Structure 1
Amino acid sequence: MVPVVQLYARDVPGLVFPDDTDLLQILWCPLVHEDGRYAANPRLRWRNAALTAAGATAGEPPRPHTADEDFVPRPCTVSPTPAVEYPNWDLPEALGELLDRKFEALKEEMGYDYFDVATTRQSKVGGYPGWTQPPDWPDCAGCGTRMEHLLSVTATEPGMGRWLPLDDRASDQDETATPCWMAEADPAALDAFGHDMALGDLGGMYFFVCRGCPETPYTHRYDC
């Protein structure tokens, strides 16, 4: 198993942790599993940071002796940035048809398509899954209700556009004259973006939880 995500409650105030936990970890086996998903096999763990630190060992985690490099992350850090999202693939069809004229007017006036900017496809906590394929929301095996999107680990890190972090924008661009959806990244920063995993063909691993059942059960979906 390789470590993929580690989030502390203090760094993500909008994320609700189960009682007596303040650390979220995601690990996965970085082999392509022939289980219908043909991707890494993940595990999600809620932990107590103090208890985890007390039993931890120093040093870098060992690399697996065999792995699909598409699912082995390079070490990196996250800088959580709040953002407002709107449904993309998850927009109800009838509502999409009702708003179609407004979407066309938006594109003509502003130069971008609603469906290009409504939902970020970057790795994130909360919001809407940045589906590559049609939505596949899971129902809880225990109570049957639709599960909540907890977080996504995706291969897509933008080189330009609305979701490009301010710190990664090219320094020679005039921020007042360049619309946010046309901003371009600093070329020197492009190779250092994120975890550097392709996840198959620029895929995504989406994690879901049920808050209503004991033990906060989880499941995941993968698409590319």
Structure 2
Amino acid sequence: MVLWRDSTSVQAVLPTPAADPEADDWHLPAPCVVHPERVTEYPSCDLPEDLTERWQEDFHRLEEAAPLLSYATHLAEAPGTKLGGYPSWFTAPGDTDCKQCGRPMDHLLTVASKEGDGASWRAWLPAEDRDEEGRRAIPLDPTGLYMGGGGAVYVFACRSCPNRPFTHWYDSS
């Protein structure tokens, strides 16, 4: 459920609610530290088809010049749990058109099983999560959440409709 509130109406931060004793362990996040940071990302799967075709040659040249670099893995969508940006689809993009107005909805939130993979962490892992040599110093799944086959849940909202309807899409690798 998504609830919209006016930030000025938020008073004291409430205590963390107790975990549901019936919940499976992999549905409860492990305690971890959050290091929010603003990053610039670009669409990959959500890139308009005409741009994908026009830039395909550029992507190919980039990957030839830097064999360990991939547009989709290192420059497009940031992996992991995030607010905003673009979903990093595991399969094909989901149906995210608003049921009320028919327009595409905006990506609001991703809750992911992992914060990266064997390749993407090199570009996207925050400095705080690296050791002195720049290697990964934390697991790729610091929260311990497991979304089905290691996928993610994406939440979308429609900014065109006055009541800001939302939907979600589950995506699994």
**What range describes the TM-score normalised by the shorter chain of this pair?**
0.7 to 0.9
Paired residue secondary structure (1:144): coil
Paired residue secondary structure (1:135): coil
Paired residue secondary structure (1:152): strand
Distance 1:97 1:139 in 2: 23
Paired residue secondary structure (2:23): coil
The question of whether the paired residues in 1 share the 8 Å contact of 2:77 and 2:88 is answered with yes
The higher-RCO structure (CA 8 Å, 6+ apart) is 2
Q: Which residue of 1 aligns with 2:146?
A: 198
Paired residue secondary structure (1:149): strand
Look up the equivalent residue of 1:190 and give its one-letter code. P
Q: How does 1:78-117 map to 2 (within 5 A)?
A: 78-111=34-67, 112-117=69-74
Distance 2:132 2:13 in 1: 44
Q: Please point out which of 111, 117, 123 is paired with 1:153.
A: 111
The question of whether the paired residues in 1 share the 8 Å contact of 2:114 and 2:142 is answered with no
Q: Which residue of 1 aligns with 2:97?
A: 139
Could you tell me the percent identity over the aligned residues? 37
Larger radius of gyration: 1
Q: Which consecutive segments of 4 or more residues in structure 1 shift more than 6 A?
A: none
- C-alpha displacement of 1:86: 1.2
- C-alpha displacement of 1:167: 1.5
- C-alpha displacement of 1:95: 2.6
Matched length:
167
Q: What are structure 1's unaligned runs of at least 5 residues?
A: 1-42, 174-183
- Larger strand fraction of residues: 1
Distance 1:54 1:164 in 2: 32
Q: Please point out which of 27, 30, 38 is paired with 1:74.
A: 30
The question of whether the paired residues in 2 share the 8 Å contact of 1:137 and 1:147 is answered with no
- C-alpha displacement of 1:185: 0.6
Distance 1:171 1:54 in 2: 38
Look up the equivalent residue of 1:195 and give its one-letter code. T
Paired residue secondary structure (1:162): helix
Q: Please point out which of 148, 151, 155 is paired with 1:207.
A: 155
Distance 1:48 1:69 in 2: 33
Paired residue secondary structure (2:65): helix
- C-alpha displacement of 1:74: 2.0
Look up the equivalent residue of 1:199 and give its one-letter code. M
Aligned CA distance change for structure 1 residues 81 and 64 (closer, same or farther; 3 Å): same
Q: What are structure 2's unaligned runs of at least 5 residues?
A: none
The question of whether the paired residues in 2 share the 8 Å contact of 1:127 and 1:149 is answered with yes
Distance 2:53 2:94 in 1: 21
Look up the equivalent residue of 2:136 and give its one-letter code. A
The question of whether the paired residues in 2 share the 8 Å contact of 1:70 and 1:200 is answered with no
